């Protein structure tokens, strides 16, 4: 579990890695009524499905300075999880009539990395530490 700003909007998100190779990101949204109590709900922002088990979650600065969500995986591997829900909301909806949005391929939201081609032992645990 991780609480951090993973999309660069200045607000913290809750990120949970599950044992079934799934990672989900949530954001707290206050209730619309103007009460003084702290009421609201967690809203699902994104669900990622990974190829392997989730070991640890980490946020690091990317090359452009934006937050980069990373998940370590067994065998000295890791994956970068793209937090692209802001672009998905701004992009035009698919119309099905051959327009530009329907011709584009699906956005890849998980980028898998292997630290070394010779290290692939799934019994080796990997942990990432964010900066």
Q: Going residue by residue through the chain (131 aa), what tens digit of pLDDT does each one get?
A: 999 999 989 999 999 999 899 999 999 988 877 666 678 899 999 999 988 888 889 998 888 888 889 898 887 788 889 887 765 554 444 434 443 333 333 446 777 766 655 556 677 777 777 66
Q: Report the predicted TM-score, pTM, of the whole model to 2 decimal places.
A: 0.72
The DSSP call for residue 72 is: E
Task: Locate the domains of the chain by residue range.
Answer: 2-32+39-84+107-120
State residue 131's pLDDT score.
62
The DSSP call for residue 111 is: E
- Cβ neighbours of 122 (radius 10 Å): 12
For residue 62 the two structure tokens come to 């990317």
């Amino acid at each position: 579990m991780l609480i951090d700003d993973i999309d660069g909007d200045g607000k913290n998100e809750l990120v949970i890695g599950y044992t079934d190779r799934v990672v989900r990101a949530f954001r707290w949204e206050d209730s619309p009524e103007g009460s003084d109590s702290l009421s609201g709900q967690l809203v699902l922002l994104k669900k990622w499905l990974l190829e392997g088990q989730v070991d640890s979650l980490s946020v690091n600065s990317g090359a452009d300075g934006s937050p980069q969500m990373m998940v370590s995986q067994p065998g000295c591997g890791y994956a970068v999880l793209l937090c692209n829900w802001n672009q998905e909301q701004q992009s035009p909806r698919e119309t099905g009539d051959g327009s530009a949005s329907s011709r584009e391929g699906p956005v890849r939201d998980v980028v898998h990395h292997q630290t070394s081609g010779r290290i692939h032992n799934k019994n080796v645990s990997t942990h990432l530490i964010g900066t």
